[in-house]
Amino acid sequence: MKTMVYLDNNATTHIRPQALEASYLAMQVVGNPSSVHGAGRAAKRLVEDARQEIAHLLGAKPNQVTFTSGASEANSLVLSNFAQTHRLLVSAIEHDSILQAGFDVEIIPVLPSGQIDLEAFEELLSNGSPSTTRPTFVSVMGVNNETGVIQPVETVWELARKYQAVSHCDAVQMAGKVAINFKDNGPDMLSISSHKIGGPRGVGALVADNRLELSPMIRGGGQEKNRRAGTENVAGIAGFGIAGKIALADLNNWGACTALRDEIEDRLKSAVPDMQIIGTQAPRVGTTSNLSLPGIKAETQVMAMDLAGIAVSAGSACSSGKVKVSHVISAMGYAPDVAGTSIRVSLGWATTRADVEKFIAAYTSFAHKNIPMDNRHD
């Protein structure tokens, strides 16, 4: 079986060897973190050490960190606490765990660049000030998972404070790639996921200002400061903490990855001039490239790359595994023939030049076989 070239790191990235080892060792610790005996205290120590590392990564205090099963659960926990009492403003490019959570939301539009429309956002805030209607809740992600576009979150949080809105950030693609300082002018709440930063799957965290009183969705125990009942996933949390420690240490070491991403875009654009690279009008993280190949469905491209031994993704995959038109690219104002033909190539800490070379060769070959001669350069 040939080795897969894995370029879908925004979906999940390779686990760090140190995080894998930490999880393995934690599995051998028998105690329940809620038990008061020595074995329980040993397990509790693993959880609290990890809490400290995640707090360091996010510029937060350890007692602000609540461990969850992932960022989707963290997002749901936040929404469930404010949906009945606040008007919900969310950006048009949020993850489905925000947009499809089953609550009535008002959409904040984005610009063709992929960044939030700050003028429209402030207008929405001013039209619903606390003096005239229910208080406002705002959720804007830090980095978009499909385009890599970095949102102007500092301005978003400043405006939220100006209009006394409660603020939340889905920071899943931001953590470990962009510096986060939660305690200094950050949002009121922030969600992250372990497996996006090199930790194990099935673990995440919600960071929240301690002045907020959040009711748990999962009840029946006092774990996690009464915000989430149930015995903590000690092994997963231990690996998450080590991944967070490494992510913080490597925060400024993405230059080589950015260079590889830029090389992909430069060489493919030269070979296929009609190909569009989406999101280049705004700052992006160096791990993500969104490519639209005219006239060829995203699903077809993903399948072709898979057959070539390369893992990439389309805009969004539903639970059945079918590909649907990207709501992110559509929200940016692109027509369906672009939104339906875009794929995401996402690099990670383990991506090599050899991986990139194989992808460029395979994708160029595929494009040349499937687009008109006058739309490409040999």
Instruction: Looking at the structure, tell me whether residues 44 and 192 fall in a common domain.
Output: yes
For residue 133, what pLDDT is reported?
Answer: 72
Look at residues 249, 271, 292 and tell me which one is the last residue of a structural domain: 249
Low-confidence residues in the chain, pLDDT < 50:
1, 317-320, 375-378
pTM, rounded to two decimals:
0.93
Task: Tell me which residue range forms the domain holding 71.
Answer: 17-249
For residue 321, the model assigns a pLDDT of 55
Residues 239 and 311 reside in one and the same domain:
no
Give the domain CATH number at 292. 3.90.1150.10
Instruction: Identify whether 318 is a catalytic site residue.
Output: yes
Q: What's the confidence (pLDDT) of residue 62?
A: 97
> How many domains does one find in the chain?
2
Please report the pLDDT score of residue 148 as a whole number: 97
CATH number at residue 61: 3.40.640.10
Sole residue written with tokens 């809105």: 165
Same domain, 222 and 300: no
Q: Are residues 237 and 356 in the same domain?
A: no
Q: Based on the domain organization, do 231 and 310 belong to the same domain?
A: no
Same domain, 221 and 165: yes
Q: Is residue 290 domain-shared with residue 237, that is, in the same domain?
A: no
> For the stretch 247-261, what's the b/e string if a residue is b when 16 or more beta carbons lie within 10 angstroms of its beta carbon?
bbeeeeebeebeebb
Q: Is the same domain home to 32 and 67?
A: yes
Within this chain, do residues 56 and 183 fall inside the same structural domain, yes or no?
Answer: yes
DSSP letters, 34-89, are T--SHHHHHHHHHHHHHHHHHHHHHT--GGGEEEES-HHHHHHHHHHHHTTTSEEE
Name the active-site residue from 318, 335, 354, 373. 318
Burial of residue 213 (CB within 10 Å: 0-12, 13-18, 19+) is exposed
Q: Which of 249, 270, 297 is the last residue of a domain?
A: 249
Say what the pLDDT of residue 34 is.
Answer: 94
User: What is residue 185's predicted lDDT score, i.e. its pLDDT?
Assistant: 80
Encode pLDDT of 29-51 as tens digits.
999 999 999 999 999 999 999 99
